Amino acid sequence: MPKVISMEEAVCLIQDGQTIAIMGSGGAVNEPSSLLKKIGEKYVKEHKPKNLTLYHACGLGDKDGLGTDALAHEGLVKREIAGYWGMAPSMAQLALDDKMEAYNFPQGVAAQMYRAVAADKPGVITKTGLYTFIDPRVEGGRMNRRTTEDLIKVVELNGEEWLWYPAIKFDIGLVRGTTADCNGNITCEEEAAILDGRSLAQAVHNCGGIVIAQVKYVSEEKAHPKKVTIPGIYVDYIVVDPEQKQTCQTVYDPALAGNVMTPFDNVPKMEMGARKIVARRAAKELPKGDAVINLGVGMPDGIASVAAEDGYLNRLHLTVESGLIGGMPMPGVIFGTSHNPDAIIDMASQFDFYDGGGLDVCFLGMAQTDKLGNVNSSKTGRMLTGCGGAINISQNARKVVFCGTFTAKGLKVEICNGKLNILQEGQIRKLVSGVDQITFSGKYAVSVGQPVLYVTERAVFELGEDGMILVEIAPGVDLEQDVLGQMDFVPKVSEQLKLMDEDIFYTD
């Protein structure tokens, strides 16, 4: 059995300059939070370990001190390669201030990297990221001026362009589960996801590194073999945190772990406003029948709320990139969990399905959109969030629907007699002449014939061969003043321009 040691002893195993792979997802889901906290505390006291490289596929933290924010001390981290930065604002600030090297990999690629390393493959070769800021001909996933080394390469295979993400050597792996049995096997009976723990541990073990598992319980009995998510043969040490919470918001909710089924009847209704209008309009793009759907974080998660409110949520096959299938994806900081999931699989397998075209439609957020149909959801001005799973999802889904308000920061609207009134315009325009960063490439979508729609509370656009086409406007808005006058470019206006459906604007 792997040795049970204290948190302090575990942290002493980490040496200066090592590369650490960390399991976890937003909202402290499956996150070894106590271990990360101890690393940060040791550095504050002793200035050790230092110059670490962090690698994680999901966002870590809760926007309030957990996750990699516990390590946000200048000098502790030299480089971070992350699938998502938005859950750790203090660490993102270090990156924005050029106090560390900062990279962003697509979440699916980052998760698949563990399997490639474990199998001694040259890395991950995929089309995911072509023509976006991940492409080395654009930004190469580098998120600040201090970051200069190219970690991604363009290669040609069978006459086609691919991106090659070379294999990474890992020294330390930090994973989490609920229980370690008498043989050190890790089970996840109280966890809200499985994520990438098994492949992470395999990768670190096969690199000759050390794997440390944080758990809530240690059992003297042997776990049922089908319930083991991380076999003990991959684990070197175990640390116990009896106060370990399921998420930053729940000590343990069995409905998130798939252990009980609870009704959706108590889901609160969304307040009528811009967010609900967008969700209702986007929901009209839900396919009939057994379609497989992905909802992104932020504005798109409102689609699940309106589906629950209107009584058809249980007919939808909603999925989340963390490995959740079915149920109701949770909003906000614990995005990546689902209420009443039908299945919970490992994250890399979910992305295998996504990358191969398994999604019928996806609904994603947008911080900016430009005249070519490019979308930025990863970095705007001094706000660094990263792409998360958006690039894997958007490049490979059969249809993409982007969701967002027309303007931001201060937008106020009202719905009266089935019409939309703009009471106060937002200070920030979101339809710009050129996005700050290309998270989604309109050029690539056009080249592969992918249908793309852009839904806002007052207008709907579709992607044409030459860029954005305005196809719908909300009843009550003025085309020139409220739509074209609030854009930094002039879109093509469809000859069949129509009003958005009346039922979107009914009040409760």
Cβ contact 444:395 at 8 Å: yes
Contact indicator for 346, 194 with CB cutoff of 8 Å:
yes
Quote the tokens at residue 324.
Answer: 């959740």
Catalytic site includes residue 457? no
Alpha helices in 262-420 (DSSP H): 274-283, 302-309, 347-355, 390-396
Helix (H) or strand (E) holding 470: strand 467-473
Closest CA to 301 of 50, 143, 321: 321
Three-state DSSP class for residue 102? strand
Cβ atoms of 338 and 327 closer than 8 Å: yes
Block residue for tokens 């992470």: 200
How far, in Å, CA of 379 to CA of 22, rounded? 23
**Sequence-ordered list of residues with C-beta below 8 angstroms from that of 126, at least 6 positions apart, any chain:** 109, 112, 162, 163, 165, 355
> For residue 142, what are its two tokens?
């580098």
Nearest to 386 by CA among 47, 26, 118: 26
29 DSSP 8-state letter: B
Q: Which residue's structure tokens are 């703009």?
A: 422
Query: What span, in angstroms and rounded, lies between the C-alpha atoms of 327 and 339?
Result: 5
Per the CB < 8 A criterion, the answer to whether 247 and 28 are in contact is yes
Single out the catalytic residue among 285, 321, 425, 457: 321
**Do 139 and 439 meet the contact criterion of CB atoms below 8 Å apart?**
no
How far is the C-alpha of 103 from the C-alpha of 82, rounded, in Å? 6
Check residue 423 and report its DSSP letter: E
For tokens 């998120």, name the residue. 143
Structure-token pair, residue 438: 């290309």
Joined tokens for residue 494: 């469809």
Beta strands 292-295 and 153-157, pairing class: unpaired
Catalytic residues: 321
